[in-house]
Amino acid sequence: MKSVIKTIEAVNNFIGNVSGWLALLMAFLITFEVVSRYIFSAPTMWSMEVNQYLFCAITLLGGGYCLLKDGHVRVDLFRPRFSPKTVAIVEMCTFPLAIMFFAILVWLGGSEFWTVLVEYQRSDTIMAFPMWPVWLTVPLGALLIELQIVARYLRCVSDLKGEN
């Protein structure tokens, strides 16, 4: 069980680091566009769309990493008063709902990705980039979150058994 948890967490940690580097790339490209546009009066045609694609990848693929680092927003009205075992039980009760939601997202996002890929749909901009890379991030990001939920579930089980 611990090896499964460590593997899932390693994957999400790696993808989270890749997302961080993509954010750095996006910041560089935005700076490049601002300098090109306002200093050299030579705006690029591709900057807006590339940055939109990068933003989709960063936000959708970084969800599992955010869950790994416990970075998602939650309202802690009662949680601080609960014991660690009670917290584990409460979290385990919410996991099936989350798994169902992200399974639907994997299914519908994967279906849309497949349609866009098979029909080779392109964006409506002057660059006409293919749409499949953006749609691929939807099921992949949801799958990464699902895997991290499974890892948290297994961690809660080991907490309840007293293994941690």
Nearest to 113 by CA among 86, 93, 132: 132
pLDDT at position 87 over 90: no
pLDDT at position 158 over 90: no
| Spatial distance between the Cα atoms of 62 and 149, rounded to a whole number of angstroms | 14
pLDDT at position 164 over 80: no
Cβ-contact 131, 53 below 8 angstroms: no
User: Average pLDDT of the chain?
Assistant: 93
* Residue 79 or residue 104, greater confidence: 104
Domain residue extents for the chain:
2-161
Alpha helices in the chain (DSSP H): 2-38, 47-61, 63-68, 84-118, 132-161
Nearest to 29 by CA among 48, 42, 7: 48
Please give the pLDDT value at position 30: 97
CA atoms within 13 A on the CB side of 2: 4
* Residue 25 or residue 164, greater confidence: 25
Tell which phi-psi region holds residue 120, choosing left (phi > 0), alpha (psi between -120 and 50) or beta: left
| Mean pLDDT on 11-30 | 97
Global pTM?
0.89
pLDDT digits (tens, 9 = 90+) for 35-82: 999 999 999 999 999 999 999 999 999 999 999 998 887 777 888 888
| Spatial distance between the Cα atoms of 159 and 164, rounded to a whole number of angstroms | 5
pLDDT digits (tens, 9 = 90+) for 116-130: 999 999 999 888 999
